[in-house]
Amino acid sequence: MNVSDEIKRLHELHQAGALSDAEFEQAKAKVLAAAIHLDKPGDGTDLASEFGRLRRSRSDRWLGGVCGGLAKVSNVESWIWRLVFTLVALCGFGVGVVVYILMWIFVPEE
């Protein structure tokens, strides 16, 4: 549910008499404050900061731990990442292998 839907729902509750004026204003302020907090850069909600946490896995690894690390950051199973790298390597003229090796070199280990 997005912010406008939540405020609309609060307004409907206020109009129905379920919320007093003070309760409505307080609830609206909480919804808006939460929305502003989520939009702040660097708090883990944007893609760049999420992948800034990327580390090669020591426990979930077959070769370099790249897919295990991607799995932890993206909440996608590591076998899916392995399948993606394999398919890109086979269908993309070896691009998957190059990307994997570069990530193996440049992504730090946990």
Using one digit for the tens of pLDDT, what is the confidence trace for 23-50? 888 888 888 877 776 555 544 456 666 6
Sequence spans of domains, the chain: 3-39, 47-106
Residues whose CB falls within 8 Å of the CB of residue 56, separated by 6 or more in sequence, listed in order: 64, 65, 66, 68, 69, 103, 104, 107, 108, 109, 110
The predicted pLDDT at position 53 comes to: 77
pTM over 0.75: no
Instruction: Give the per-residue pLDDT at 48.
Output: 65
pLDDT at 52 over 80: no
Chain-wide mean pLDDT for the chain? 80
